[in-house]
Structure 1
């Protein structure tokens, strides 16, 4: 059995070259790992190369790149051959589409081709780790959730999610690899739908859509209440510390009065359906809940610039 280590994995394979895939490859490579990024389409790999270059330029412009860009690029290989990509990997991170059937096929390939002690991680944000591991029962102890948040080269936390068959060694090694690339593991000890981050995110979103649908406040005002109020404070204090600061007696009383009135909806509701029916699917369509006059790349860059500014402010505190 391999002992947990705090050193960067020597060889990492990232399966799936989309937005998360190239971001993960970059994060591991900037901390010294040799990375092989694999996809089933050459055009996706071409897009990933461009994505890596753009992200390196962004990090350099923001003063957040501690490594030589050319050295980072040199550590990333691109291939269409999954078996070759994972043949020597210590850590394999799958980040393909959120479709269990697709992930099952991928993990069958990974279990057959990767070394017997390689960690087989999935970046799924919603599919139970136990369901993914069921496709490879002989390797289930090595299957673990490793859920990064987008963009992975900016956001500091990573959920390490235990499936029912995941071994302690796999969890410990995965958490150590996350730490070795300057990220903070959040250990999720029970394989519940949505893990931690998405359960919180969608609980907030459900209440926000409820408030707008019920005419309590406008969509822009609810957006500002979260972004410029709640989220600004939670950037520096979490919910439990917030309760400590106010006093548990007060928060217990507020909770007792408020909980019965919070949304318990089990469907997304009309705010989603109306916009989707009108072709307003989000930034890629130019409109969703908001109108977007800029390109998708420009909107993403603006978000990343704001996240980077917050990271700099917090790191300098």
Structure 2
């Protein structure tokens, strides 16, 4: 049976779902001159999607082969009703949640309401389109397929795949359309679990395991060869250790079960020789993984220059540190109550261990969280303020030498803002550089642009400033999983502390006060304070200023799988700030007792790099150029 492409003309591409990915797919078509109609049942999602297209369509044209279309951008509209959204469409792409029952029902509706020549594509990353077509007509099955986007414009690959019935001519037709939109199409010629790229990577891992099983080589040598051949720092054995060998085995099990593969020489060998012995990679630094314990976190040396770098790492040289002195040590007349905190806080720079720090900014009202951006020559910090009842907390910025001070947020906006981090998020719909911070007595988590604009309340707990269980303190962002984490420390020394997480992007129709995506990740902690995550491995680190023996400590745990909390180091004097320096195998910790430590990640050994009569909260390293 022959197939003729639909006549496009002014007919729209219909996108079902105006969320983070749906709006990006829509923008790629608009930038190439195609008309687009977005369908989303939630009004705010429709508003946000159209706003995203308004603000980003011009940047998307840079990927189109011909640049901005001579006929101008395509039109774009949004509606709640699926029937009106697809009635004239020549292509529909569903980007609804990954629930197979929902997708089956969606395809049934599209078969009913879409024109007879309309192509229906699923953006699903988890399901073959053949699983979605049980309620569509035989004729429509020939027009259905997978159209799997990753995340334009950052990653522009689009993988196309048949449902087992799809007209073959559809794939070159769609590929040409995608190229006009600046995408990089690839077509799987038949249905396949994992599409194309994931299968390539699975094959690499599988063959590496066979090489190791047969004793032909070892992990370090394989990675050296890989690095030289492909001129890349992404090394396969090291990456498997970082992901976790238990996770590697679980993924391979899916291919083994579906294809009837013999896994005895791959995952069977891996489980016998590593996993059963507790050797999982970075999840078990003391036991190691494919790399021995002393090498798990270090790239294998490729030449003398890298060897020199490894030698430098063993010396654990200290990068410049920026410290916040909250102003409650011996330099303060007294340790006041929350109402009436002194304005004796400082930002200090420490360039070498046990040397006098340099004061960059003084006269601050209880500074608490800090981060830096060397590329912009700026630092950002929070001040808890001098009077909780006055809600006089603030967010500020200055050059790295302390000059050009600016107030970004104040005037009753914040109560007692705490830990702050700068995040450069290429997928953010409204500016890639964001400041995330918690507001303790404000019972909330916030985000804004680096100039203070675009201020959002991400989480707003109920209650008043006296509801200590709802105090939000530390924060970190996990871009790999599109999550942010925060601590609610609970009453002092109470073992009621918790660590929560939620999505970086709101679900449609939700805001900070009615989120349905909030999860408790850890609970029953003494008094968790500041956080940082290594996104690549999913390991979360935090300080805890609670009671001994579990409190006054530095801790870590995986955020997925086995969430057993590991106590890395103890006997701090109410630790607050931490900063990972895993390239040198250490973590910096600051405490209210006036000390700054470097903690060895493997052994937990603490080394004092600075101690005086100050009272330290936030800490950050100045990245090397």
TM-score by length of 2: 0.34
In structure 2, the partner of 1:27 is 28
In structure 1, the partner of 2:52 is 51
Residue 206 of structure 1, CA deviation = 9.1
Change (3 A) 1:83 1:285: same
**Do the aligned partners of 2:15 and 2:93 also contact (CA within 8 Å) in 1?**
yes
In structure 1, the partner of 2:527 is none
Q: Higher relative contact order by CA 8 Å / sep ≥ 6: 1 or 2?
A: 1
Residue 117 of structure 1, CA deviation = 0.7
In structure 2, the partner of 1:303 is none
Matched, 1:284 2:483: yes
In structure 2, the partner of 1:181 is 181
In structure 1, the partner of 2:144 is 143
Matched, 1:157 2:356: no
**Do the aligned partners of 1:3 and 1:173 also contact (CA within 8 Å) in 2?**
no
* CA distance in 1 between partners of 2:107 and 2:164 (Å): 17
Residue 198 of structure 1, CA deviation = 3.0
Deviates more, 1:197-206 or 1:88-97: 197-206
Change (3 A) 1:51 1:115: same
In structure 2, the partner of 1:89 is 89
* CA distance in 2 between partners of 1:51 and 1:2 (Å): 35
* CA distance in 2 between partners of 1:272 and 1:75 (Å): 49
* CA distance in 1 between partners of 2:232 and 2:191 (Å): 32
TM-score by length of 1: 0.62
Matched, 1:229 2:230: no
**Do the aligned partners of 2:7 and 2:90 also contact (CA within 8 Å) in 1?**
no
Larger Rg: 2
Residue 200 of structure 1, CA deviation = 3.4
Structure 1, residues 202-257: CA drift from partner, whole Å, max 9, x if none?
A: 6678999xxxxxxx78xxxxxx99994348xxxxxxxxxxxxxxxxxxxxxxxxxx
**Do the aligned partners of 1:8 and 1:31 also contact (CA within 8 Å) in 2?**
no
In structure 2, the partner of 1:134 is 134
In structure 1, the partner of 2:111 is 111
Change (3 A) 1:122 1:205: farther
Structure 1, residues 77-129: CA drift from partner, whole Å, max 9, x if none?
A: 11111111110011111111122111111111111100001001111112012
Residue 2 of structure 1, CA deviation = 5.0
* CA distance in 2 between partners of 1:157 and 1:9 (Å): 26
In structure 2, the partner of 1:238 is none
In structure 1, the partner of 2:581 is none
Name the SS of the counterpart of 1:133 in structure 2. coil
* CA distance in 1 between partners of 2:19 and 2:179 (Å): 23
* CA distance in 2 between partners of 1:94 and 1:108 (Å): 12
Structure 1, residues 169-227: CA drift from partner, whole Å, max 9, x if none?
A: 4334333332343434312111111211233356678999xxxxxxx78xxxxxx9999
* CA distance in 1 between partners of 2:80 and 2:107 (Å): 16
Name the SS of the counterpart of 1:149 in structure 2. strand
Name the SS of the counterpart of 1:168 in structure 2. coil
Structure having the larger proportion of residues in helix: 1
In structure 2, the partner of 1:249 is none
The count of residues paired between Structure 1 and Structure 2 equals 244
**Do the aligned partners of 2:16 and 2:96 also contact (CA within 8 Å) in 1?**
yes
Map 1:165-204 to 2 at 5 A: 165-201=165-201
For the aligned residue pairs, the C-alpha RMSD in angstroms reads 4.2
Name the SS of the counterpart of 2:151 in structure 1. coil
* CA distance in 1 between partners of 2:125 and 2:231 (Å): 22
Structure 1, residues 31-50: CA drift from partner, whole Å, max 9, x if none?
A: 11110011121122222234
Structure 1 stretches lacking a partner, 5+ long: 209-215, 218-223, 232-258, 293-317
* CA distance in 2 between partners of 1:109 and 1:181 (Å): 27
**Do the aligned partners of 1:4 and 1:172 also contact (CA within 8 Å) in 2?**
no
* CA distance in 2 between partners of 1:96 and 1:207 (Å): 36
Change (3 A) 1:35 1:202: farther
* CA distance in 1 between partners of 2:202 and 2:38 (Å): 31
Structure 1, residues 24-81: CA drift from partner, whole Å, max 9, x if none?
A: 1111111111100111211222222343345347558xx658338xx54x61111111
Name the SS of the counterpart of 2:233 in structure 1. helix
**Do the aligned partners of 1:6 and 1:176 also contact (CA within 8 Å) in 2?**
no
Change (3 A) 1:272 1:205: farther
In structure 2, the partner of 1:67 is 68
Structure 2 stretches lacking a partner, 5+ long: 209-218, 221-226, 236-262, 285-476, 486-532, 541-625
* CA distance in 2 between partners of 1:7 and 1:83 (Å): 19
Structure having the larger proportion of residues in strand: 2
* CA distance in 2 between partners of 1:59 and 1:176 (Å): 17
